Structure 1
Amino acid sequence: MINITFTSKAADHIKKKLAGRDLDLKLMYDIDGCSLSAIPTLRLMGKQERGSDEISVDTNEMPIWVEQSKLIFLDDQLEIDFSEKSHTFQLVSPNEILNGRMSLLD
């Protein structure tokens, strides 16, 4: 099973966006056509937007939703950090940087 950890900086930024709003956090991994290349992105979504293939993954900070069919493209260990320099999130695994400038779509 996948294990996602948030750094305190990333969690703080996301919690500010979620404050007072009934939204969930989703880690999207959209594949363009037949290509295996995709860009992971964070998205805030309403519960009614949740797809039938999405599962909730417990983390050290907050649950995050991921499409179960996309788990094969992600490493088992992931960390989400926030870069003050670029004002973007970063998705990294022990093996690689999956997205060094990940957006949070609202």
Structure 2
Amino acid sequence: MHITMTEEALQQVTAEAGTSSPVLKLVYDAEGCGCAVSGVAQLWMISEPKPDDVQADSNGCKVVYEKRHEVFFDAHMKLDYQKAKRSFILSSPQQIYHNQLRLITK
């Protein structure tokens, strides 16, 4: 998996993290959705990855994900930030995963 972060997204992540080397975790959250295939993308800021987390290729900060969630995402994605909406946008050439994605500190 490769995630291209725009300059705006990287600046916002760094600002929210308060550090120049934050760790993000891309999650497919299906809890409370009724089915494992009915979920929503989430972006978590974590202190450190779990031993079984997989690291994505990224031009920005470290991004990890759970191998079992890989099926829900495309191989190439982009993370952007919209200042007017104060939210991130996760997209790929095929689709928009979330256009009002919040960065959740875990």
Shift in Å, 1:24: 1.9
Scaled by the length of structure 1, the TM-score of the pair is 0.86
Conserved? CA contact 1:53–1:69, under 8 Å: no
Contact 2:10 2:60 in 1 (8 A): yes
Q: How does 1:1-106 map to 2 (within 5 A)?
A: 2-20=1-19, 24-32=23-31, 33-47=34-48, 50-106=49-105
Alpha-carbon distance in structure 2 between the residues aligned to 1:55 and 1:8? 23
**1:19 shift after superposition:** 2.5
Q: Which runs of 4+ in 1 moved over 6 A?
A: none
Q: Normalising by structure 2, what TM-score? A: 0.86
- Residue correspondences, number: 103
What RMSD in Å do the two structures reach over aligned CA positions?
1.8
- State how far apart, in whole Å, the 2-side matches of 1:68 and 1:51 are: 12
| Consecutive unaligned residues in structure 2, runs of 5 or more | none
Distance 1:65 1:93 in 2: 17
* Whole-Å separation in 1 of the counterparts to 2:56 and 2:10: 15
